Structure 1
């Protein structure tokens, strides 16, 4: 199969995943009383059903737990460094929202967990995250570890590597999650949310924490 056909098929599947994810993420009210005035996203089972404990490898090679990662409000994204367009754009948007919040005196961080652990070594993750923010954290791990953490955030992904084990696309959902200290997921943001609006909504949660 040609690279062009692979890219077209990958884009179609990814679009279907994004549509399905968008529908799924608006089925029911999340209903967290602590942040009711801030929450805009609705999700089946409530936002409390998202997240899991984990131990992964940080982009500096250190093994870290969820408790060690989520020490401040965090914008969590699942993607991969070989992604041709979506992941770089989403990472840039998240980094811009981080900058806007820090200019307001709000301490936040951005995190990307790979959906392509075979190619995304800690060194590769660091090269990628440094393109967007020197404070962005990249996390990788074994196939089993990555599968478990994606399951915890109900994130679909699939590598299209049946015919080529080196150059392939990975279908994945593209939501960004707001995770508070204590590994508490309270909100999600779709790809259509601009950085200014993301910063405003995240700022609401941070203000409500204080």
Structure 2
């Protein structure tokens, strides 16, 4: 009898805690309009994730997304930006677990010739457990870059294998409807990534 009462009490307490958390989220004021609201950044894409499975913009519907374009052979900027994006989200998840679970970090390569799914899988595993790495054909990547207004161009002599990519470095925050909300540049800090999520994610 005592064990049944204990289990019932635990269940009640868990229910109360869950209800309290839900009410707290519901009582938060509406998010302000971000600087990118109304812009035409973003759109449909059809790519392949680090597990070799098809991944499209529809897989992000109903969730917020932190979207970054880069490449795994990048010597400094891309790993640093991906680390800041991942660490900023991790801090937000710690503060707001329910809201944090609604945010998907996404890394889209601008170097599909070298960034195969296997290469992306090794790269993404070093950052956030939910980081999605995306690649595809050159045409598919070009379409994604165009949709997100990303500049990227191969640098160095033609035919070189150890080439670099000159590209725009920006982290976009996209809404559950696939529309842009805000962005952070390369000079952003981990704390600023977290602050953007606190400010806009509901």
> Normalising by the residue count of structure 2, what TM-score does the alignment of the two structures yield?
0.78
> Over alpha carbons, which structure has the higher Rg?
2
State whether structure 2 residue 59 is matched by structure 1 residue 68.
Answer: yes
Partner of 2:121: 126
Partner of 2:15: none
* Cα 1:47/1:113, change in 2 over 3 Å: farther
Cα RMSD of the aligned pairs, angstroms, is 1.7
State whether structure 2 residue 44 is matched by structure 1 residue 49.
Answer: no
Gaps of 5+ in 1: 1-33
Query: May I ask how many residue pairs the two structures share in their alignment?
Result: 169
* Cα 1:94/1:47, change in 2 over 3 Å: farther
Equivalent position to 2:200, from 178, 182, 205: 205
Please state how far the C-alpha of 1:198 moved relative to its aligned partner: 1.6
State whether structure 2 residue 94 is matched by structure 1 residue 103.
Answer: yes
Residues 24-48 of structure 1: CA deviation (Å, up to 9, x unaligned): xxxxxxxxxx85x353x4x6xx553
Q: 4+ residue runs of structure 1 moved beyond 2 angstroms?
A: 161-165
Gaps of 5+ in 2: 1-29
Please state how far the C-alpha of 1:163 moved relative to its aligned partner: 3.3
What is the distance in 1 between the residues matched to 2:110 and 2:195?
28
